[in-house]
Amino acid sequence: MLTRDDKGSLKRTPLYDLHVSLGGKMVPFAGYDMPVQYLAGVLKEHLHTRNAAGLFDVSHMGQIALRPKSGKVEDAARALERLVPQDIIAIAAGRQRYAQFTNAEGGILDDLMVANFGDHLFLVVNAACKAEDEAHLRANLSDTCVIDSLADRALIALQGPKAESALAKLCAEAPTMKFMDSGPHKVAGLDCFVSRSGYTGEDGFEISVPAGDAERLAKALLDNPDVMPIGLGARDSLRLEAGLCLYGHDIDTATTPVEAALEWSVQKSRRTGGARAGGFPGAAKILAHFDHGASRRRVGLRTEGRAPVREGALLFADATSAEPIGKVTSGGFGPSLNAPVAMGYVPTASSAIDTKLFAEVRGQRLAVQIAAMPFVKNTYKR
């Protein structure tokens, strides 16, 4: 189980003692005491994940089972479609899909993963939002579903080109899984839920394991010389290079999926003219954005120099104008590229690739260009 530390202020995951024993530098994150880096440092951890395999503790995330009272998983899927703009009914058994909870204004309450485990749905939600997400599900879906918080489970991510070979030593079925496959599997003899997915742009897996077995499983994976423990610092730089959103930064309650360049996640069946168009919170605004466009858009940004442009930096149309046209929501140095990368929002009219803008950094205007994302090509096993 997740526990509070002696101060009663920060919660600890089941892998806390392992992090400390490995030299993890612990910092507060989403209410948890989490490792920001280990002895190798962020740069080496980042590059090791890109070249071999990295092990991440993501036990602070929320895990929820959505069990249909009727016993039919399609009833749980139909119920969940009342809260998200995605086609949940079409998720086949053993598969998962990226989704968003939306609000009445079309903004994003949280983003999540939804898997079909055959007789129920398995959801993974963000740490900072998990209490609100569970309450949201209970308030809206309790008529048709049992909402089961799986607080007695840990979550481990194994990411990188050698993730498959590392996991295959403990789970014979791992090599047969494709990107976004998800379901129960035995890992090192333990009853786990395994998905072939992650948050780095690399091939990899996320493994839900009973909390009491988490340290044993993590140590078994770390016994492989290809696997290195990775902290929050490299997790952030990896997801940024992959062009993946961080909730509360790149997406939030005032951002629609279309503004966030997440149109790909909303299937045609839920759009105007689709078999089950609308019917989710904020549908009028979101579908209007699909049909007529949104006024702003999330874009990738590359700087012309080596100075990183970080979150909060204002974006301008030229070097002298007084009024900003946009803002950076994530930014930093991309170790794989040996160059700075960033994401932010700009007017849709200024969102074309190669458009030149200026970011204000320490009172100076730095030239930036709109760039295609992901910045580093993903390596998912499709």
Q: Does 206 belong to an annotated binding site?
A: yes
Query: Tokens 């997406």 label which residue?
Result: 251
Decide if 161 contacts 379 (C-beta within 8 A). yes
Cis omega (within 30 of 0) for bond into 210: no
Angle (CA) 288-301-106 rounded to 5° is 20
- Beta carbons within 10 angstroms of residue 44's beta carbon: 16
For the chain, the distance separating the N- and C-terminal CA atoms, rounded to the nearest angstrom, is 34
Decide if 66 contacts 124 (C-beta within 8 A). no
Residue length, the chain?
382
Decide if 208 contacts 197 (C-beta within 8 A). no
* Positive/negative CA dihedral, 123, 128, 133, 134: positive
* Positive/negative CA dihedral, 43, 57, 117, 220: positive
Residues 6+ apart with CB under 8 A from 368: 301, 302, 303, 304, 309, 315, 342, 356, 357, 358, 359
| Burial (0-12, 13-18, 19+ Cβ within 10 Å), 132 | middle
**Residue ranges for the binding site for substrate?**
206
**Residue ranges for the binding site?**
206
